[in-house]
Chain A
Amino acid sequence: MASSFLSIEHVCKSFARGQSTTQVLRDINLSIVRGEYVSIIGHSGCGKSTLLNLIAGLTKITTGGIILENKEVNEPGPDRAVVFQNHSLLPWLTTYQNVKLAVDKVFSQSKSRAERHAWTMHNLELVQMVHAKDKLPAEISGGMKQRVGIARALAMEPKVLLLDEPFGALDALTRAHLQDSVMQIHARLGNTVIMITHDVDEAVLLSDRIVMMTNGPSATIGEILDVPLQRPRKRLELSSDPTYLRSREAVMRFLYERHRAPALQAA
């Protein structure tokens, strides 16, 4: 336990509204090693986004604790950069300025002005967005915005990169393209990534492990699946790979057989 990079220990989260309290997450235990790519999958309303917000420190933990490199997480910080579902770029800044804002803040002491500029450009290059560096977010497509969002998060050199359904709002082709980019970046930089998703193929394609959540309220980790596929992974070759298909089936069985969405159960 002590050797793990990020460990989530007995985390519970309840939201109180007036007199009533709703438990969203119950007894979450998970430990993640450095460089690992972990997906969290579950039906909507299972609290997976809440879990990500707890790791990010944006939401306070009710009981239990999250420990990153032997330090407890209790507030947000750039060591756990988040790529938000709807990109959340600041619309009055150009893509360059959006990334630069993060770089300037995080490296205000450790990098010179020229180095900060170079680092900003480097990260835009990493997501292939240098050509649009002077564009405002409103002037670029959804996929491009998300690329910039990823560049901004990467530029903080986070210990853990948190992706909150990063491809959810994109069309299938753009999504595939961006998934490939994320895989390449992960291979190159070896960051530790936690990704929220509701897409089974995405989870299997990208992850080393898939954390499957039971349905809420009081959701918890139902099962953790290892995805023993070699990297680099090729989308096309995998579509007939037996390990891929087996992993995919395991997740599907979990989601649609054992823990069906509440709405589906009612139907």
Chain B
Amino acid sequence: MNMPASKFEGAMPLVSAQVASTPATIVPIGIKRPSMSSRALALLAGFAARVIPPVVVIALCLILWEVLCSKPGASLPPPSRVLEETWELIVDPFYDRGGIDKGLFWHLLASLQRVTLGYTLAIIAGVALGTLVGQSVWAMRGLDPLFQVLRTVPPLAWLPLSLAAFRDGQPSAIFVIFITAIWPIIINTAVGIRNIPTDYRNVAAVLRLNQLEFFWKIMIPAAAPYIFTGLRIGIGLSWLAIVAAEMLIGGVGIGFFIWDAWNSSRISEIILALIYVGLIGFMLDRLVAGIGHLATRGTASA
């Protein structure tokens, strides 16, 4: 108890003496402009801080996987064997031997094309319907119950029905993407439109903006953060649904690639495909989030 107190007393006069001796001079604190090399070093340190943890975690997972699956009688291949067996697919994703015997690039491209088409249609219809429901109380009363029920129908449950309607795999898969992605887009757009502050409506009224100007200049930008939330959920769901839908419709596409690999017991290829599906899903999500961030000038969460 005594020690700190005495130390404190000792320090006090020293401080006051210093203050008294230099009453009004501003003492420059030694802020050095960081040199180029030290700045580069700081940048590198920041980069390392973000990259090292995931690398370590992935490495640990791979080691665990390797250990667990290297035992004799293991049902799944260890990563070393996956790499060995799929090396050809990894180094040459662009080969095309006709039919469905194509490189992974072509499978992924086919899937992405379906998603792009279905998702684009979902954006157009979803934003339009969401705007309608958000704007009109009667449209909401009429349509909302329908939406609430339909949106809970699992994507794949639509597939037989769409196959019956379209009599072809391609439009059916696109329809499944469309019907999967549209609900979050509708619902979020409607919420965004409904939440447009009265102030913005008043501004539009004072300026006498017509319906079209109001839609483009006030409604869409004001609801944009909400719309992009819906779009982000939508793209995630689309990518989830495409793999499942393609498994059933066949043809070129990553979903059928996985199903085909399973039927031929090429487990390593399934694992490789899953990694690609995950990476592309992640990239799609970041892409939509990035566009949202740009389009809303940072008001949508990226």
Contact = CB atoms under 8 A, between A and B. Distances in A.
Contact of B224 (A86, A92, A102, A156): A92
B296 A102 contact: no
Interface in B254-302: 296-297, 299
Given A90-B218, A101-B217, A76 B296 contact: no
Interface residues of A, number: 22
A80 B206 CA distance: 7
Interface residues of B, number: 19
Contacts of A22: none
Interface in B199-216: 199-200, 202-203, 205-209, 213
A95 B213 CA distance: 19
Given A90-B218, A92-B221, A78 B299 contact: no
A90 B221 contact: yes
B99 interface: no
A82 interface: yes
B4 interface: no
B197 interface: yes
A136 B297 contact: yes
Nearest to B297: A92
Nearest to B218: A90
Contacts of B217: 101
A86 B217 CA distance: 20
Interface in A79-93: 80-82, 84, 86, 88, 90-92
Given A77-B208, A78-B206, A101-B207, A88 B200 contact: yes
Given A77-B208, A105-B208, A105-B209, A84 B202 contact: yes
Given A80-B206, A90-B218, A92-B299, 4 more contacts: A88-B197, A88-B202, A90-B222, A156-B206
18 contacts: A58-B202, A58-B205, A76-B206, A76-B208, A78-B206, A78-B208, A80-B206, A81-B206, A82-B202, A84-B202, A84-B203, A90-B203, A90-B221, A90-B222, A91-B299, A92-B221, A92-B297, A106-B207
